[in-house]
A and B are shown apart, each in its own frame.
Chain A
Amino acid sequence: MPTIKVNGKEYDAPAGKNVLQFCLDQGLYVPHYCYHPALTIAGNCRMCIVKGSGPGLRPGLMTSCTLPVQDKLEVETEAPDVQKAREGVLEFLLINHPLDCPVCDQAGECYLQDYSFKYGRDRSRFVEKKVTKHTKDVGRNIRIWGNRCIVCTRCVRFCEEVAGTGELNVVERGDHSIIDNFPGLPMDNLLSGNTADICPVGALLDKDFLYQARVWYMETADSVCPTCSVGCNLKVDTYQGQVKRLRPRENQAVNQWWLCDIGRYNHKFTSAPNRLGLAKTRGVATAATAAIAATAVSAPALEWERCSLDGALARTWETLDKFVRAEGAGAVAGLASAWLSNEELFLFRKFMKLGIGALDLGLVAHQDGEAHAFKSGFKIHADRNPNRRGAQELLGADAAKDGLKRVLDGIRAGRIKAVLAAGGIPGWEPDPALLAALRKLAFVAVLDVAEDAPLVSVAHVVLPGATWVEKDGTFTNAQGRVQRCQRALPPPGVAAPESDLLQQLLVLAGKREKVLSAQGVFAELAAEVPAFAGLSYRDLGGQGKCLGAAADPAVAAR
């Protein structure tokens, strides 16, 4: 392996790797705009310039992104002439750049700002007239401020090489060069939001986040995208109690650096006006006796009454218990959704089996959407649920597959009289037959997140739950990778994570002493469910671990 010297220190470095990436891998700081590890090397921004010398190399300043590692190479990343050159590069880049940082969304996470702070001159010597360029939509979600663009072509290469759609290019030339789409063919690929992420300056901005918040006021939590079974790693940025944007978080085993637009913009439901913040009940007292009298009044015919969360939980447990006592455990069934976390699915099953003794559990989920695949290999799965795999492991493969049908048959046959359903699927359009069946039941208790959720329309008790940004937990993606979501916001009103609600039901049933954190529940889960054996929150870290990792070293390496 070649030995190279960086700033006087020796390193073993893989031959042929570019020096910039090698330095970044070592944690060494080298400023750069156009280089991105996912894209071909353009070498156009000149910011990653270093001082280099070595065998067969003419010593001097060179761009480290285009400099391959070779034996006896010596580079200096912060020599005085390197710094001087960077100052010059910045001065040129800023010739036509406007001083509009106060109204630019990129401010605070802008490479131009950061490098100007570190290397730039404190004033411009440019007295000529600035060239002005277009500000326009280049796609459904993305707008370009041409004056801010430094023509690094990251976005162009992204569309060409990752999305494979090639909608953007540099048009005109010299100081009139500007990124544009072909007239009538805007950038509407399903990865377009990433171009704003990788734009090193404020040129490409996401219209969805435009003027929403100064980035330094936002708080960030690491999470996972719930919109399909890929489980892209992401960051949830919040401000004043609202999700403002979702950004991809690098995970080479899952989403590389990217996030699709379907997932990226699917967070509006978390702060929608229809969020459930209070518990409510209707006709529960009659429902309990109805079980015995068989004169059920279907839920939609009754008026809602507000109720404390504790009261609603108590009524849920007491009513379900009465049904079991009057009709046997087979009279109560459970429906859990593929939007629940592993911890919640585990607790749901535990409550239904231990607390109730129910026979039938079913899985409810979004219907499949359209699957997409891109040039770089990035995929969007047809399964638009974050945790179907987790449900298969934790409810049981059989319940996940045929459970729903058995519950439906049981309701239709009159055997099942009461259902506990944990939904929380945003924008769900369930099978009308399911709702019609539930509507006839004497008692339906529901955990959900929206006032107008389909399950709420058939419920007698509504327990307000939390969306995925409001709770800690894990999802298991389609490849079996267990990944953590961290709480970014508190749930609205008295709403609580379903793991808390389900544990409180277990406490009421006398099957648990206290409510544990999600981490505590996961430890319990890992101890009881073989597929999760050996996993813990500490182990999962930021990148997740695959099921069966403890038993199989080959899996652990994934």
Chain B
Amino acid sequence: MPVQFSEKSRARFEWLLTRYPTRQAALLPTLRLAEEEFGSIGLEEMKYVAGLIGVSPAHVLGVVSFYTHYRRPEHGKYILQVCSTLPCALRGCERITDHLKKKLGIKVGETTKDKRFTLKKVECLAACDRAPMMQVNDQDHYDLTPEKVDRILDGLP
């Protein structure tokens, strides 16, 4: 089936266009919309969005690969994004990343064989006051310790 927005998403996209000075400026929220509609952003989805916005597929690839936030088809069910910027680094995010690597048996950037977890090391997620922190999909978790990380992962459905 060809990749295509539902009527609802299409309407949402048209509305998005009214919020930005140029079509190209609406690329980021349109990708978010595509992510919601299609579950993840793969090559076909990028081509589709490129056509909607009127830029080349290579341009969309550049944008999608620049940001760490977009879900790609190869990602697991849960994307663990561990912040590694200064406050989190000072508060021991390295310990959290090492713990996750050991626990999941994967390196940063990899996905577990059961496609449950993808581990990412990312830049600031705007919760410096409660460092170290990580995001599990869209959910923030603060003041992390290895024990707390275990509890969070074990509590996931």
Contact = CB atoms under 8 A, between A and B. Distances in A.
B4 interface: no
A88 interface: no
B66 A173 contact: yes
B56 A166 contact: yes
B137 interface: no
Interface string A150-175: 00000000001000011111111100
A170 B62 contact: yes
- Among A181, A182, A183, the most chain B Cβ lie within 10 Å of the Cβ of A182
A72 B66 CA distance: 41
Contact of B56 (A169, A170, A180, A184): A169
A185 interface: yes
Interface residues of B, number: 13
A343 B149 CA distance: 84
A165 B56 contact: yes
B103 to A, nearest CB: 26
A170 B64 CA distance: 11
Interface residues of A, number: 16
Given A167-B56, A182-B58, A172 B66 contact: yes
Contact of B61 (A160, A165, A173, A182): A182
Contact of B43 (A168, A169, A173, A184): A184
Contacts of B55: 166
B66 A180 contact: no
Contacts of B61: 169, 171, 180, 182
A180 B43 contact: no
Contact of A185 (B57, B65, B66): B57
Contacts, number: 40
B43 A183 contact: yes
B46 interface: yes
Nearest to B55: A166
Given A182-B46, A183-B43, A184-B43, A173 B58 contact: no
B65 A166 contact: no
A171 B64 CA distance: 8
B59 interface: yes
B65 A182 contact: no
Interface in A123-168: 160, 165-168
B70 to A, nearest CB: 13
Contacts of A160: 56, 59
Nearest to A165: B56
B66 A166 contact: no
A21 to B, nearest CB: 27
| Most A CB within 10 A of own CB, among B47, B55, B65 | B65
Contacts of A167: 56, 58
A166 B62 contact: no
B41 to A, nearest CB: 13
A169 B66 CA distance: 11
Central interface residue in B47, B55, B57, by most chain A CB within 10 Å? B57
Nearest to A172: B65
Interface in B49-108: 55-62, 65-66
A166 B43 contact: no
B125 to A, nearest CB: 16
Interface of A: 160, 165-173, 180-185
Interface of B: 43, 46-47, 55-62, 65-66
16 contacts: A165-B56, A166-B55, A166-B56, A169-B58, A169-B61, A169-B62, A170-B62, A170-B66, A171-B61, A171-B62, A171-B66, A172-B66, A180-B58, A182-B46, A182-B47, A182-B60
Given A166-B56, A169-B58, 17 more contacts: A160-B59, A165-B56, A166-B59, A167-B56, A167-B58, A168-B58, A169-B56, A169-B61, A169-B62, A171-B61, A171-B62, A171-B66, A172-B65, A173-B66, A180-B58, A185-B57, A185-B58
